[in-house]
Amino acid sequence: MSNPIPANDDPLKPSNFLRAIIERDLEAGIYAGRHFAGKPGDAAQHAAGPLDTARIRTRFPPEPNGYLHIGHAKSICLNFGLARDYGGVCHLRFDDTNPEKEDQEYVDAIQEMVAWLGWSWETQSAGASTSHLFFASDYFDFMYRAAEYLVSAGLAYVDEQTAEEMRANRGDFTTPGVNSPFRSRSPQDNLARLREMRDGLHADGAMVLRAKIDMAAANINLRDPALYRIRRATHHNTGDQWCIYPMYTFAHPIEDALERITHSICTLEFEDQRPFYDWLLNQLAEGGLLAQPLPKQYEFGRLNLTYVVTSKRKLRQLVDEGHVQGWDDPRLPTLVGMRRRGYTPESIRAMVEATGVTKSNAWLDYSVLDGCLRSDLEGKALRACAVLDPLKLKLTNWAEIFGDAAHLQACSAPAHPHLPELGTRQFTLGPEVWIERDDFLELPTKGFQRLFPGNKTRLKYGYIVECTGCEKDAEGRITAVLAHIIADTKSGTPGADAVKVKGVITWVGVHEALAAEVRLYDRLFTEPQPEAGGRDFIETLNPNSKKIVSAWIEPSIANLPADSRLQFERHGYFVTDRIDHAAGKPVFNKITGLRDGWAK
Ligand code: ATP
Ligand code: MG
């Protein structure tokens, strides 16, 4: 089994165009008995591992230049999910061909998050485990040989035009490009120049290697795209070994082919690159450097989520300009942020399953993701009581009823209302309890069922009380609510009379409440599409996206480890913060409310 996540065998699971393509290809036996035609010892030999047949191979190819976000989660679940469902393999490949922006920190964080989502790049077979973790930079030698081959075959040339000249001569949608004066140099001259580039004889940016295709092509990507550039930068993997680096459009198809990817799935913005992808791989196959069948690229619509931005560059701006506190800020749609916020991997995978793949760049409403989260948490989050905006309630007849002002009455509640096997939580009721400030109104509004003078309400898991009034300070602010316990008229003990009440409130005993910091999060942006109409997304930041309150929590949750999710009754789902929560200093993040507070 390659992945611990069970396949979704739901017969109602929507099929999609990618599944249809894979099923067609498997049916046609395209991958049966595929073999490698290159020289022994080529990168292509080792990259794909032991040869096997009739399998599909997909890959998730992040560039390690930032943290993964929810859009990447879509790509991860899609690629690993297809491999799982069709008995194939999914590679985790770092597309690390751009040394200036890449870093080991990101390599580590990306691996951690793919694993957190529940996927594995290792496969088990006959007790042995094979890793399918790859780095594009491991193929630099092969890529360079491929470049020399293209030059020798007259399919690439070294261009010494300035960047400006190249841009001007590229033309545009209506004007064809103009051939570079360097385009007609002989293969021998080009080869010598390319080797000089490699050997560091030319300055950064002095020249580039370009494919020789067609400067008049309708698809601008085919107007002699750049393949290699000179850049003296230290690479996180290859150090200073190279001063030339392959361009993404050249490197990516080769990476796929060397790893013998069958279905190279990417987002729609790469659609126009597909002709070059095919051109390059076909040329290299003809030259005997790559084997058939070659990988095929398929595009799907990227995930856009309302009320957030999903672009590494914009997320970096939010972090760098201090709008949020780091990449793992719980308001960010980065996977590290969402994990810290309390999202479960199950809920993210469920969202991807539920939304499927299409050919359009649709917007997903945030409430769909939160719906997936709620249905996951509802069945497993333990319950507890917390008071987030505390006001004291004094039970004025406590001593009279119990004969002792210090008496504490034992109470219990289920740990989870539908999972009796999880047992009960124990706490006590005393003469003073914390309630929510908005559970009391001196002058009730229409339909208000909770505490107001003369009204009866149930203290959840406790007694029925009748509100008698409140206390105020000099400024007129309410400092305490007063109530008395309804006692049985005959025995004098509480609760024996069958009093019917409509309101139920949660509470925590003042004598045993624990202080906790609770971080309440709201949407990061006030607009569903923060950049709609070309506005600067920074302008639509929600100034109230984070609020910290001091809360009182029930003692049963005194010793939760970090990263524990639970439901505070009536309030929503919360998680102990994975960084700041500590014994004796509980810190909770609000994950989401019990229902969609934004639904109109
Ligand atoms: P960004 O757009 O945030 O800068 P990227 O596309 O540059 O991300 P990569 O590391 O190159 O980031 O992406 C790795 C893979 O994730 C690519 O195959 C890319 O198509 C996919 N991906 C990125 N964003 C999304 C998204 N919003 N929805 C689906 N897939 C995505
Ligand atoms: Mg991109």
What's the confidence (pLDDT) of residue 16?
Answer: 87
In the chain, what are the domains? 17-137+250-304 (3.40.50.620), 140-246 (3.90.800.10), 312-377+516-592 (2.40.240.10), 385-511 (2.40.240.10)
Percent of the chain with pLDDT over 90: 83
Q: Which helix (H) or strand (E) holds 57?
A: strand 57-60
CA 71 to ligand 2 center in whole angstroms = 11
CA 164 to ligand 1 center in whole angstroms = 29
Angle value at C-alpha 579, between 386 and 121, nearest 5 degrees: 115
For residue 66, which of 330, 311, 307 has the smallest C-alpha distance?
311
The pair of three-digit structure tokens given for residue 597, joined into one six-digit string: 């507070």
CA 311 to ligand 2 center in whole angstroms = 8
The phi-psi region of residue 551 (left if phi > 0; otherwise alpha if psi is between -120 and 50; otherwise beta) is beta
What's the confidence (pLDDT) of residue 37?
Answer: 40
What's the confidence (pLDDT) of residue 187?
Answer: 98
**Which residues, listed in sequence order, are joined to residue 484 by a DSSP beta bridge?**
466
Place of tokens 């920074």: 538
Task: Mark whether 302 is an active-site residue.
Answer: yes
The crossing angle, in degrees rounded to 10, of helices 70-85 and 345-355 is 80
- Give me the catalytic one of 19, 55, 63, 394: 63
CB half-sphere exposure, 238, CA atoms < 13 A: 19
Q: In sequence order, which residues have a C-beta less than 8 Å from that of residue 491 and are 6 or more positions away?
A: none
Place of tokens 């739901």: 10
What's the confidence (pLDDT) of residue 197?
Answer: 98
| Nearest-angstrom CA–CA distance, 275 and 248 | 15
Question: Taking the alpha carbons of 186, 190, 192, 193 in that order, is the dihedral positive or negative?
Answer: positive
CA distances from 285 to 153, 280, 282, 292 (A): 13, 9, 5, 7
370-422 per-position pLDDT tens digit: 999 999 999 999 999 999 999 999 999 999 999 999 999 999 999 999 999 99
What's the confidence (pLDDT) of residue 360?
Answer: 86
pLDDT bracket for residue 599 (50, 70, 90): low
CA 143 to ligand 2 center in whole angstroms = 21
pLDDT at 171 over 70: yes
What's the confidence (pLDDT) of residue 14?
Answer: 55
334 within 8 A of 69, measured Cβ to Cβ: yes
What's the confidence (pLDDT) of residue 499?
Answer: 78
pLDDT at 592 over 80: yes
What's the confidence (pLDDT) of residue 356?
Answer: 86
| 304 CA closest ligand 1 atom index | 27
Task: Mark whether 312 is an active-site residue.
Answer: yes
The crossing angle, in degrees rounded to 10, of helices 345-355 and 366-378 is 130
Average pLDDT for the chain = 91
CA 170 to ligand 2 center in whole angstroms = 22
Q: Mutation test of ligand 1: which of 97, 267, 360 has the most ligand atoms closer than 8 Å to its C-beta?
A: 267
Percent of the chain with pLDDT over 70: 92
Query: Can you tell me the mean pLDDT for 531-547?
Result: 94
Closest Cα to atom 10, ligand 1: which residue?
62
Greater confidence (206 vs 533) lies with: 206
What's the confidence (pLDDT) of residue 48?
Answer: 47
Closest Cα to atom 16, ligand 1: which residue?
72
Other CB atoms within a 10 A radius of the CB of residue 18 amount to 20
The pair of three-digit structure tokens given for residue 328, joined into one six-digit string: 């793992």
pLDDT at 99 over 80: yes
What's the confidence (pLDDT) of residue 500?
Answer: 83
Q: Mutation test of ligand 1: which of 63, 75, 351 has the most ligand atoms closer than 8 Å to its C-beta?
A: 75
For residue 235, which of 425, 111, 354, 107 has the smallest C-alpha distance?
107
pLDDT bracket for residue 5 (50, 70, 90): low
What's the confidence (pLDDT) of residue 1?
Answer: 37
* CB-defined site of ligand 1, < 6 Å: 61-63, 71-72, 74-75, 266-267, 302-303, 310-313
| 300 CA closest ligand 1 atom index | 29
What's the confidence (pLDDT) of residue 292?
Answer: 85
The pair of three-digit structure tokens given for residue 232, joined into one six-digit string: 């003296």
What's the confidence (pLDDT) of residue 491?
Answer: 67
| 75 CA closest ligand 1 atom index | 30
124-163 per-position pLDDT tens digit: 888 889 899 999 999 999 999 999 999 999 999 999 999 9
DSSP character string of 93-112: EE----GGG--HHHHHHHHH
pLDDT at 528 over 90: yes
Closest Cα to atom 3, ligand 1: which residue?
311
pLDDT at 369 over 70: yes
pLDDT bracket for residue 361 (50, 70, 90): confident
180-214 per-position pLDDT tens digit: 999 999 999 999 999 999 999 999 999 999 999 99
223-248 per-position pLDDT tens digit: 999 999 999 999 989 999 999 999 99
- Give me the catalytic one of 34, 302, 578, 590: 302
What's the confidence (pLDDT) of residue 126?
Answer: 84
- Return the ligand number nearest the Cα of 76: 1
| Nearest-angstrom CA–CA distance, 592 and 521 | 8
| Nearest-angstrom CA–CA distance, 156 and 149 | 9
- Return the ligand number nearest the Cα of 95: 1
447-493 per-position pLDDT tens digit: 999 999 999 999 999 999 999 999 999 999 999 999 999 987 666 67
- Return the ligand number nearest the Cα of 256: 1
For residue 560, which of 583, 590, 591, 589 has the smallest C-alpha distance?
583
| Nearest-angstrom CA–CA distance, 271 and 231 | 28
What's the confidence (pLDDT) of residue 371?
Answer: 95
For residue 364, which of 373, 374, 378, 354 has the smallest C-alpha distance?
354
What's the confidence (pLDDT) of residue 495?
Answer: 66
CA 564 to ligand 1 center in whole angstroms = 30
CA 57 to ligand 2 center in whole angstroms = 21
- Give me the catalytic one of 93, 185, 212, 312: 312
| Nearest-angstrom CA–CA distance, 432 and 405 | 10
Q: In sequence order, which residues have a C-beta less than 8 Å from that of residue 597 and are 6 or more positions away?
A: none
Q: What is the pTM of this model?
A: 0.91
Burial of 550 (0-12, 13-18, 19+ CB in 10 A): exposed
What's the confidence (pLDDT) of residue 252?
Answer: 97
Place of tokens 């856009």: 304
What's the confidence (pLDDT) of residue 54?
Answer: 56
CB half-sphere exposure, 337, CA atoms < 13 A: 25
